[in-house]
Amino acid sequence: MDVERKSEMPVLKFSLTILAIAGCWRPTTWTSPFRHIMYDVYTLTVILTLYTFAITQVMELVLYADDSDTFGDALFNVIISLLACYKTIVIRKSHDSIETIVNSFAETPFKPFDLHENLILEKFTKRITNNSLYYLVLVLITSLYMILLSLFTDFKTGTLLYKAWIPFDYSISALYYFAYFHQLMTLIFIGLVHPTCDSFICGLLLYICCQLEILEHRLSNIVNNPETLRDCVHHHIRIFEYSYLVNEKFARIVPSEFIMIIVVMCYNLIHMALTSSDTVSYIENVMVIACTLAPIFYYCWFGNEVKLKSIQLSDNIYNIEWTTLNNDVRKGLLMIMNRAKIPIEFTSANLLSMNLDSFVMVLKTSYSLFNVLIKSQKQ
């Protein structure tokens, strides 16, 4: 009874909960048409808030392109707001696919069969939750720091949180409060959407590692239960199908993430290098850089872990006591080993693999571009 209760433990419960708060995932328990409409309105509010903020920043770019500081700030805001808007739309459009993936966790062959497999699932579930929480807390602390800093400086002087082109005179108190609140909500939505979407996708990657470890456990018992070989072969095939589905649905987010990180990294490093910022602004820049690096580090780290785990499966099969097995079982194991030689890789638009080499490449590219821009600024 205890094993059955644990096997029903939702793998991505925390990730889906914060995804719902961010307006990207309608809870499956909301089945009534009224709740569907209500949540669609909430999602539309998030998208419109981000989109209208991006428009005000684009107009700021067009009108004040000569001012390098204004141009850099506006470009930074356009990128992070439009990317958050893009992530929200992609995840919302993938609602049915996400529901199919989550429901498959409770079905054969993914669901755990014994206490050891439940412990593996519990270990990875805890890890997914912790990683999501750490990233979310980092971004929300940064957002809260920026909000408090603005409230004690900009708000007192009647200045907006960000320089922006506003289609009305916001010197009037009521309109100023409206414009300021709009930018405040944009910052909050950006702080929710980015970490929740990225953590959810990384959670799906970690679940691939979880299933590979469960498969390793089942294969380690093949000597005592050779009749389970057919189920293990089926399980391995389903892991590949699941990996392909995750990569197909969500890999389109990663290329835009790479572009955002390179641009934002360069902008913040240049801003820190060329301006004599005080300690408060310096801390803000460092926190923004940390939040910028976190998502691509997560993608590359867990993508690398999936690749290593899938290759390791072949070595673990090799260590099984082959001499006690009959020819049919040996042939089945050889088939799994041959398939496992091709690693499971999470790719960006089928061009760039998500691994630690890619992460290092991003850092090198950002640093090289930073050096070029710094030299051009000094000249």
Quickly list DSSP for 153-209.
HHHHHT--SS----SS-TTSHHHHHHHHHHHHHHHHHHHHHHHHHHHHHHHHHHHHH
- Domain membership flag for residue 271: yes
* Tokens standing for residue 96: 């049915």
Length of the chain: 379
pLDDT of 349:
63
Residue from 345, 105, 110, 100 nearest 247 by CA = 345
Q: Has residue 3 been placed in a domain?
A: no
| Other Cβ atoms within 10 Å of 161 Cβ, number | 21
Pair of tokens at residue 213: 């470890």
Residue 341 in domain: yes
Question: What's the pLDDT band for 345 if we cut at 50, 70, 90?
Answer: confident
Which residues pair with residue 322 across a beta bridge? none
**Domain containing residue 182:** 9-378
Percentage of residues in the chain with pLDDT exceeding 90?
33
pLDDT in tens, 126-168: 999 999 999 999 999 999 999 999 888 888 888 898 888 988 8
Residue 1 banded pLDDT, cuts 50, 70, 90: very low
Specify the pLDDT at position 376.
Answer: 67
Q: Is residue 346 part of a domain?
A: yes
- pLDDT grade for 20, boundaries at 50, 70 and 90: very high
Residue 5 has pLDDT above 60, yes or no: no
Q: Distance of alpha carbon 122 from its chain centroid, rounded?
A: 21
User: Residue 215: its pLDDT value, please?
Assistant: 92
User: Looking at the domain assignment, is residue 272 inside a domain?
Assistant: yes
Whole-number pLDDT of residue 7: 39
Mean pLDDT of 355-362: 84
What's the whole-model pTM score? 0.87
Residue 111 domain-assigned (yes or no): yes
Task: Give tens-digit pLDDT for 159-211.
Answer: 898 888 988 888 888 899 999 999 999 999 999 999 999 999 899 999 999 99
Question: Do the domain assignments include residue 2?
Answer: no
Residue 1 lies in a domain: no
**Three-state secondary structure readout of 194-248:** HHHHHHHHHHHHHHHHHHHHHHHHHHHCCCCCHHHHHHHHHHHHHHHHHHHHHHH
Q: Total structural domains in the chain?
A: 1
What CA–CA distance (Å, rounded) separates 246 from 91? 12
pLDDT for res 10? 61
pLDDT at 378: 60
